[in-house]
Amino acid sequence: MIVPESEALLADLRARLPQVPAGLAAHDDYELDPAMAAARAAVLLPLIPGPEPALLFTRRTESLARHSGQVSFPGGRSEPADLSPIETALRETMEETGIAPGFVTVVGYLDRYLTGTGFDIQPVVGVLAEGFALAPDAREVAEIFQVPLSFLMDPANRRRETRVWQGRSRSFYAYRWNGHEIWGATAAIVVSLAERIGVISTP
Q: What is the 3-state secondary structure (H, E, C) of 128-172?
A: ECCCCCCCCCCCCEEEEEEEEHHHHHCHHHEEEEEEEECCEEEEE
User: Which pLDDT belongs to residue 67?
Assistant: 53
Does the residue 91 lie in any domain? Answer: yes
Calpha distance 98→76 (Å, rounded) = 15
Looking at residue 176, what is its pLDDT? 94
Please state the domain count of the chain: 1
pTM: 0.86
Report pLDDT digits (tens) over 147-188: 999 999 999 999 988 776 666 667 789 999 999 999 888 999
Within a domain: residue 53?
A: yes
Residue 200 in domain: no
pLDDT bucket at 138, cuts 50 / 70 / 90: confident
Q: How far apart are CA 192 and CA 186, in angstroms?
A: 10
- pLDDT higher for 5 or 174? 174
Task: Report pLDDT for 203.
Answer: 39
- Asked if the structure places residue 193 within a domain, the reply is no
Residue 15 within any structural domain of the chain: yes
| 109 Cβ contact list (under 8 Å, min separation 6) | 17, 18, 19, 20, 21, 22, 85, 122, 123, 124, 125
Whether 27 is in a domain gets the answer yes
Q: At 119, which CATH number?
A: 3.90.79.10
Task: Let me know if residue 16 belongs to a domain.
Answer: yes
- Beta partners for 75? 43
151 conformational bin, left if phi > 0, alpha if psi -120 to 50, beta if neither: alpha
Determine contact, residues 175/89, Cβ cutoff 8 Å. no
What's the mean per-residue pLDDT of the chain?
A: 83
Q: Please check the confidence at residue 2 and state whether its pLDDT lies above 70.
A: no
Residue 130 in domain: yes
SS3 assignment, position 58: strand
Q: Which domain holds residue 78?
A: 4-149
3-class state of residue 59 by DSSP: strand
